[in-house]
């Protein structure tokens, strides 16, 4: 095995995670399809190599979905701080996509806090009305202390409000941090609860996905999806709930209250769907 791998966070919930990403990608790409000549920007802040142990990773999931929807006019910007991940990603992308031009795909080996201002500048140079640029940004950090570009993301999300936000969020780690804060420990100032994190990012519509299943030593995640205008979606999609709904509120209120192995939200689809 190559030296890259452990940071990709592979686990039993990876397939489910990618299916959740795919559902949001499909929605975001479909909404934009009525405007086929406009660019769809896809920013992957923690791209990984494109391949997990059991399934493809977010860059390939996105490209396959764009292909399935015949969405040609995309710009995909992939970032990972691990150079080997990006090296592998390039060849994995080349293998599956014969339809995009090279200039539509860009790879960055850097911290994603540097990546976001670079893509912002590219959008300003490319778009006639940059504030109307649309697309999707994915943040798939292992935790808030491992690759979540808090301030760069806040600035980017504030400037480009039509770019949707998809954020994978480690609730196991957050539960520990919340506990440590409650007991008076210091040093966790930069850690945000899901509600605090959403409040920093100007998107009026938010969805939260039912948490992934737990188990001994397994970290649990929720996925947050924010967008700027009402799409008319009601109810649940792919296990995502509006944060205003009873199920959405319950997920956001209760994430710290369940032990590993427990089904987090019985009656709301559990953690495995």
Ligand X SMILES: C[S@@+](CC[C@H](N)C(=O)[O-])C[C@H]1O[C@@H](n2cnc3c(N)ncnc32)[C@H](O)[C@@H]1O
Q: Is 142 in the site for ligand X (CB under 6 A)?
A: yes
14/8 Cα distance (integer angstroms): 10
Confirm if 17 and 168 have CB atoms less than 8 A apart.
yes
Query: What is the DSSP secondary structure assignment for residue 140, as one 8-state letter?
Result: -
Q: Is 139 in the site for ligand X (CB under 6 A)?
A: no
Confirm if 154 and 192 have CB atoms less than 8 A apart.
no
Q: Is 173 in the site for ligand X (CB under 6 A)?
A: no
Confirm if 116 and 150 have CB atoms less than 8 A apart.
no
Which listed residue (111, 155, 159, 178) binds ligand X by CB under 6 A?
A: 111
Provide the minimum distance between the beta carbon of 155 and ligand X in the complex, in angstroms, as a whole number: 16
Q: Is 82 in the site for ligand X (CB under 6 A)?
A: yes
Size of the site for ligand X (CB under 6 A): 21
Provide the minimum distance between the beta carbon of 81 and ligand X in the complex, in angstroms, as a whole number: 4
71 burial level (CB within 10 Å; 0-12, 13-18, 19+): middle
Provide the minimum distance between the beta carbon of 126 and ligand X in the complex, in angstroms, as a whole number: 22
- The first and second tokens of residue 31, run together, are 């909404």
Instruction: Quickly count: other Cβ atoms within 10 Å of residue 216's Cβ.
Output: 6
Provide the minimum distance between the beta carbon of 229 and ligand X in the complex, in angstroms, as a whole number: 26
Q: Is 48 in the site for ligand X (CB under 6 A)?
A: yes
Q: Is 79 in the site for ligand X (CB under 6 A)?
A: yes
State the residues that interact with ligand X by CB under 6 A.
7-9, 46-48, 52, 57-58, 79-82, 85, 111-112, 140-142, 146-147
């Amino acid at each position: 095995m190559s030296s890259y791998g452990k940071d990709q966070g592979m686990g039993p919930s990876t397939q489910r995670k990618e299916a959740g990403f795919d559902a949001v990608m499909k929605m975001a790409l479909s909404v934009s399809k009525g405007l086929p000549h406009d660019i769809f920007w896809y920013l992957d802040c923690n791209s990984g190599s494109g391949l997990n142990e059991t399934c493809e990773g977010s860059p390939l999931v996105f490209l396959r979905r764009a292909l399935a929807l015949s969405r040609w006019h995309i710009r995909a910007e992939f970032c990972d701080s691990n150079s080997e991940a990006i090296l592998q990603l390039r060849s994995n992308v080349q293998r599956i996509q014969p339809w995009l031009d090279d200039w539509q795909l860009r790879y960055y080996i850097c911290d994603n806090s540097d990546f976001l201002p670079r893509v912002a500048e590219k959008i300003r140079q490319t778009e006639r009305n940059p504030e109307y640029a649309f697309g999707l940004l994915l943040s798939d950090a292992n935790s808030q202390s491992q690759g979540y570009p808090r301030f760069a993301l806040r600035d980017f999300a504030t400037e480009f409000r039509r770019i949707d936000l998809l954020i994978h969020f480690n609730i196991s780690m957050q539960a520990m941090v919340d506990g440590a804060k409650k007991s008076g420990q210091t040093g966790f100032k930069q850690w945000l609860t899901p509600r605090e994190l959403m409040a920093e990012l100007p998107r009026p519509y938010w969805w939260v996905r039912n948490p992934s299943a737990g188990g001994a030593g397994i970290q649990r995640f929720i996925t947050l999806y924010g967008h700027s205008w009402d799409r008319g979606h009601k109810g649940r999609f792919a296990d995502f709930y509006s944060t205003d709904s009873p199920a959405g509120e319950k997920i956001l209120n209760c994430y710290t209250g369940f032990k590993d192995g427990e089904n987090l939200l019985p009656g709301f689809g559990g953690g495995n769907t």
